[in-house]
Amino acid sequence: MNNLNGERSWVEVAMYDELPVNSGKTVRFKDKELAIFRLTSGKILVIENRCPHKDGVLAEGIVSGEYVFCPLHDRKIDLSSGLVQNPDTGCVKTFDVSIENGKVYIDLLEKSEIAS
């Protein structure tokens, strides 16, 4: 993958077509657990699979547009920024996604780590 520098760590997780539309799926890699979402728009977004409030598994939340609602206490989370929406606060880690030849790859280095 030519656009990647050495610091990134891409992992193949699924075939794009096999991901269910508008519901999350759990991805495990070593000690990490992520939630991957294929939205109605076709976009794929990946976040950490735990709500900052009470560790709810976000892969099981109801997906609406680019938001997921935590199944435990209904916190609304922006899937692309990871930000918990008002009036609640907090954020979850987000991860970069790349699709090549129908395969979905996740960069396991979370975005915030790249930025710093």
Q: How far is the CB of 96 from another protein (least distance, A)?
A: 14
Look at the block and give the residue holding tokens 């790349």. 98
Helix-strand-coil split of the chain, %, nearest 5: 10, 40, 50
Chain residues that interact with another protein, rule: CB under 8 A? 11-14, 18, 20-23, 25-29, 36, 40, 53-57, 60-65, 67, 69, 71-72, 74, 76, 86-87, 89-90, 106
How many helices (H) does the chain have, and how many strands (E)? 1, 10
Q: How far is the CB of 7 from another protein (least distance, A)?
A: 19
Of 12 and 113, CB closest to another protein: 12
Q: How far is the CB of 75 from another protein (least distance, A)?
A: 10
Q: How far is the CB of 100 from another protein (least distance, A)?
A: 16
Of 14 and 109, CB closest to another protein: 14
Largest CA distance in the chain: 42
